[in-house]
Amino acid sequence: MTHTPNPTILLASGSPRRRELLGLTGLRFAIAPADIDEAVRPGESAVAYTIRLSREKAAAALPAGRATGALVLAADTTVVDGETILGKPADADEARAMLVRLRGRAHQVYTALTLIDPVTGRSVTEVACTDVPMRRYTDAEIEAYIASGDPFDKAGGYAIQNTAFHPAEVRSGCVANVVGLPLCHLVRALRALGFEPPADVPRACQDFHRYDCDVTDAILAGRL
């Protein structure tokens, strides 16, 4: 397949973290946040929930993509502890309960991304999963973090990239997935639709996160 360089992306998200990560690709992009109902359906698994939301967000932004010809990109990130989906905490009590629950052990973070080419109607959905080992932060650290206001727009009540709280350190797997946009999966989706980002995305991602990723080759080869 012939790959077309540097397509324009319409990102169906207002997340500054996703904007920052998408900027590492060298792709031109615009923002069109999608407002959808993010309630979990009865009996819905974490993977099914995450995929559904990414597709619904992409569908919501598709009319704007058709108007501009830009590829539509949507993503949803879900924090999962066992079989329990941990959403964004509504208040300090929920944030505290989530952080206490996760402390000192590992959980999983899933991100599903959906990419649609409005010209051809073709779409690709990719799913990434990363194990996140949380450190044994103290109760006082939890309270200081809650007071900062950072937990309230984050699934699971934390941001892995917060340097003051530093809740966890990923030792294996995709760090960008935990932040909200698995970039090697995005490259794979772009290539499936016949496009190629102008930047060396794996290198840019690893340099940005100061992380020697052990799954890049497997993801790009379709093995993970």
- Angstrom distances, CA of residue 209 to CA of 138, 171, 179: 25, 12, 10
| Cα–Cα dist 156/143, whole Å | 15
Distance CA 224, CA 206 (A): 18
Q: State the alpha helices, DSSP H only, in the chain.
A: 16-23, 46-68, 92-102, 139-148, 175-179, 183-192, 201-209, 216-220
Catalytic, 212? Answer no
Q: Which residue has the tokens 């108007």?
A: 67
CA distance 60 to 96: 33
76, 81, 117, 207: which is the annotated catalytic residue? Answer: 76
Catalytic residues: 76
